[in-house]
Amino acid sequence: MRLRTLLIAPNAFKGSLRAMECARAMEAGARDAVPDVRTILHPISDGGDGLVEVLADALDAQVLRTEVAGALPHQRVQATWAMSRSRGTAIIEMASAAGLVLVPDNRRDPKVTTTYGVGELIREAVDRGAASIIIGIGGSATNDGGAGMAEALGVRFLDKRGAALQRGGIHLRDLARVDLTALDKRLGQVEITVACDVQNPLTGEQGASRVFGPQKGATPADVRLLDEALLHYGRLVGESCGQDVLTVPGAGAAGGLGAGLLAFCRAHLKKGIDIVLDATGFDRDLASADLVITGEGKIDVQTRLGKAPAGVLRRASAAGKPVAALAGIIEGEWGQYFGPDGFVDMIALVDEHTTVEEAMRHSRALVRKKTADMIRRLTA
């Protein structure tokens, strides 16, 4: 392969490198291998970590910080979001308000965590005149079906005595009535797009509680109770809002926040990577590239279901451009990632010589070295 122009489009390596930091390390490695290569840095996000940073540049948005409720009871956090006044678009990462990274390991409990702070961010964006909102919902600590978010926007969740429910997914089992009277009417004039990288339904074997609950601190008993609570909640929300949230793919994202945004905000769920690639002009940059290199912290069976590298691969393959991938960890048989519409080469930071801890500690240097190794192999 003759390499003149390289398009570098990595996602963040969670816990070690932001997307732009990774792109610059890849660029250095590419130039170690091919000194005169022209590089185009195009960091990406699939709706999780880094969405605000990536889209703020593309949309000429001002990055803001607002104090809101955190995921835990009585917790307050400084959430980062962005607002493009020229386009009237707000960019929100739910994880900035209610993310798992904000909750200490010993306090992770999806029975009590809440998305209330996410609703506060939406309200703040509307107060500032947003006509459209892009919300990334990756990395949540919650399992409340978006009830906390909806409460912050005026919805009341009542038990059989007419008392307001406590926040947290476990209390949804006591829900008797959904009162929409005070729901912020301005939401009807705002287009809300949800950057969602999973297709899980709200409940069941592939639902929010069973698939994602354990990583948020749920025990097997908790998972059963939370799934039952979301099923009950989903039925009542569907009746109250006229919106089926039990069978829609992606409704289970972020502990069911996808369902809440669908029902109460009339949001549209869309693959996060497609939102980012469209907004950042990826196809324009792709046109002049001889090779694309992408990657993220882990490539596994979930990657082809909507993660960032899969979105890059899909766009590039359609344009006839080869794509190589670099990841911290690559799981499963590597052969499944190759083929006519697959990657032309792959490389991982973690191997027989490098542990996960070492890869995290030396991620920048390893990304540079591994990129150089891969480029040399492809251009030999």
Q: In what order do the strands lie in the sheet with 191-196?
A: 62-69, 76-84, 89-93, 132-136, 191-196, 268-271
CATH of 51-273, one of 3.30.2290.10, 1.10.287.610, 3.90.1510.10, 3.20.20.210: 3.90.1510.10
Whether residue 216 is predicted with pLDDT greater than 90 in this model: the reply is: yes
Could you give the CA distance from residue 348 to residue 346 in angstroms, rounded to a whole number? 7
* pLDDT per residue as tens digits for the range 325-372: 999 998 877 777 887 888 999 999 999 999 999 999 999 999 999 999
The per-residue pLDDT for 301 is 65
One-letter amino acid of 300: D
The pair phi, psi for residue 255, each rounded to 5°, is 65, 30
What average pLDDT does the structure give for the chain?
94
21 confidence band (pLDDT: 50, 70, 90): very high
Q: What is the pLDDT of residue 283?
A: 96
CATH 3.90.1510.10 boundaries in the chain? 51-273
Transcribe 327-380 into DSSP letters.
EEEE-S-GGGG-STTS-SEEEES-BTTB-HHHHHHTHHHHHHHHHHHHHHHHH-
What per-residue confidence (pLDDT) applies to 338? Answer: 82
pLDDT band at 1 (very low <50, low <70, confident <90, very high): confident
Mean pLDDT of 64-80: 97
5-44+281-379 carries CATH number 3.10.20.600: no
Q: Side chain identity at 56, as an amino acid letter? A: A
pLDDT of 302 higher than 70: no
Work out the burial of residue 304: count CB atoms within 10 Å of its CB; fewer than 13 is exposed, 13-18 middle, 19 or more buried. Answer: middle
* pLDDT of res. 4: 97
Q: Which tokens is 265 given? A: 């905000």
Residue labelled with tokens 């990055």: 63
d(CA 357, CA 120): 37
62 alpha carbon, distance to own chain's centre: 20
- In Å, what is the CA distance from 230 to each residue of 146, 201, 249? 10, 11, 15
- Under the banding of pLDDT at 50, 70 and 90, the label for residue 50 is confident
What is the model's pLDDT at position 242? 95
pLDDT by residue (tens digit) across 25-37?
Answer: 999 999 999 999 9
3-state secondary structure 86-113: CCCEEEEEHHHHHEHHHCCHHHCCCCCC
pLDDT score of 46 more than 90? no
Confidence of residue 303 (pLDDT cuts 50, 70, 90): low
Residues of the chain with CATH 3.40.50.10350: 5-44+281-379
Q: Which residues pair with 266 in a beta bridge?
A: none
d(CA 26, CA 367): 6
Percent of the chain exceeding pLDDT 90 equals 85
What are the backbone dihedrals phi and psi of residue 313, each rounded to the nearest 5 degrees, phi first?
-60, -40
> What secondary structure letter does DSSP report for 164?
B
Contact 80, 96 (CB under 8 A): yes
Query: Which range scores top for mean pLDDT: 40-54, 196-210, 225-239?
Result: 225-239
Local confidence band at 147 (pLDDT 50, 70, 90 cut-offs): very high
Q: Please provide the size of the chain in residues.
A: 380
pLDDT tens-digit series, residues 219-272: 999 999 999 999 999 999 999 999 999 999 999 999 999 999 999 999 999 999
- What element of type H or E holds 2? none
Q: Are 237 and 256 in contact (CB under 8 A)?
A: no
Question: Given this model, what pLDDT does residue 196 score?
Answer: 87
Distance CA 241, CA 265 (A): 10
Question: 227: which 2 tokens?
Answer: 């799934």
In this prediction, residue 183 has a pLDDT band, given cuts at 50, 70 and 90, of very high
Write down the residue that tokens 């190794």 correspond to.
373
CA 81 vs. chain centroid, Å, equals 14
Residue 348 is encoded by which pair of tokens? 């991982």
Q: Is the pLDDT confidence value at 89 over 90?
A: yes
Q: Judging by DSSP bridges, how do beta strands 291-299 and 268-271 pair with one another?
A: unpaired
Helix (H) or strand (E) holding 269: strand 268-271
pLDDT higher than threshold 90 for residue 304: no
For the chain, what percent of residues have pLDDT higher than 70? 98
